[in-house]
Structure 1
Amino acid sequence: MTITASPPSPARTAAQVQGLWLGVAGVLMFALSIPMTRLAGGTVDAPQLPPAFVAFGRAAVAGVLSVLYLAACRAPWPQRREWPALAFTACGVVLGWPLLLGLAVRRVDAVHASVVSGVLPLATAVLAALVLRQRASWGFWACAGAGLGLVVGFAAWRGAGALVAADGWLLAAVVCASAGYVSGARLSAGRPAVQVICWVLVLSLPLTVPAAVLTRPTAPVAASAWVGFAYVSLFSMWIGFFAWYRGLALGGTLRVSQVQVLQPFLSMLFAVPMLGERLDAMTLAFAAAVLAVVWLGQRQRVH
């Protein structure tokens, strides 16, 4: 007797394709975050919006939009046991990542920051393995060590043999984002992921709104800085998550999440025409090596 596999359902195939394109759209939005953050904050020589204002202000804008969204979809209030995890997630993705990234990209260019932050997917996997007490293979830990070594080596090369403070801020930002992603993922087991990020932003409003007011710019800034601020508020902090999480749900987490490894390259490509930065062969080589290690690490066995 011959058994043949039934062809995939056309509806299911269409949903997977739609999910993949939504995932690509989410990655494109997130890839612009680093160049737009530098555009909003400027450089040490030509400062624009204060990094603290960019971090707190973008979360405040996204938080107000989240209030409207949660009210429109009549989302249930978080349970008491969820509040600590929501607060921890907020510390990572609403406060830590944007603030540390903003401080860093005032001192190093967006291309530099894109390479260092390229280990974010692998760092998230490492924290998930530690927090969830999973048994990872030696290959997984070897990739994690290689990824960190590549990033530190790249930072030292760009710093003429020494690490600079901005590299420490970038690595700390990666840790903050990874911790926030892991905490948010655990919360997403009980409610839609989009609602999780919205509640995280709403919970942060009592802090982000006053902080944004206190850190607002006191001197005129370029119109381009406000464009960068508007982008990171609307797309990096809010709309991007809608596209990304919807893409994961429709296309499958395993399939769609793989496109995230392209994010560092996209960030660098955007930074060249937007900010006039230079992309040299050695930087591309480091970025390709980081991408390869992240790609390989995601395929290692974790029990």
Structure 2
Amino acid sequence: MDRFTALKVFCAVIEARSFTKAGNNIGLSRPAISKNIRELEAHVGVTLVNRTTRGVMPSEAGSRYYQIVSELLWRHEQADEVASQSGAELRGTLRVTMPVTLGLHLILPVLPQFNEENPECSLDLCLSEEKQQLVEGNFDVAVRASQRLEDSTLMSRCIGSVTYAICAAPSYLQKSQSLKSPKDLEDHQLVVHGANIGDQKWRFSAQGESCYVSVRAQHKSNCSEAIKSLTVAGMGIARIPRPYVSRELAEGRLVELLSDWTMEPLTIYAMYPQSNFLPRRTRLFIDFMSRALKVY
């Protein structure tokens, strides 16, 4: 087994959530992808990915392994570049795009520290719920949150992850039947993110047991802040990244439900164009965010 290749294959599979898509992204056949994953799992002695009818999901050990391996691969790719770049390349403007709610709750609060550490770098931020195109928009970095990256010609690096909270307002719970298991959600009004939920399912795990809940949205929005507002107003139950609702939970305006169950975390990625040489200010921004977002 070529260990380095196997690690690259593993990260590609986790990011694509598919052996076939991972192979297309890195130029390997599906059998080669399967062989590398199988040999890597044998080497580490644990199952790293779970294969389901809905695709490929990281195991608990696989999620932890991915966090470390993706960081190591990033460092390896940038080592030669760091040696060749000068300090002058830090000066200039860094254009970054990100979703509104993600930016307001996670990214903007840590930017003063980035500015203090890198005063020569200016920031040009675009916060939008519409996914901006990096090359066409002349952006250096896109910060995106997703459980599954779409096929892309962009490079990506995992810079953090956040857990979800299933929550509802006290006013909604007073007029609704109680929840004893995730399956009970199918009998409740749900406030869901995304315009196209289709056959979306939420996966819950607890004590080695997993279950899937079919999502039928009563209300939906493409904006997490709007979902939170609707939920606080008592319009249903929502799955919201925990940092987005920490204040509302602490103040009692929202109540967390099914806290004994866990869901696959929402992964935060830095996306950037493929290039032989990544500008130093871009690399420093991504490095900083990786450190800052570990706290979540």
TM-score range, shorter chain: under 0.3
TM-score (norm 2): 0.22
Please state which structure has a larger fraction of its residues in helix.
Answer: 1
Structure of greater relative contact order (alpha carbons < 8 Å, 6+ residues apart): 1
Please state which structure has a larger fraction of its residues in strand.
Answer: 2
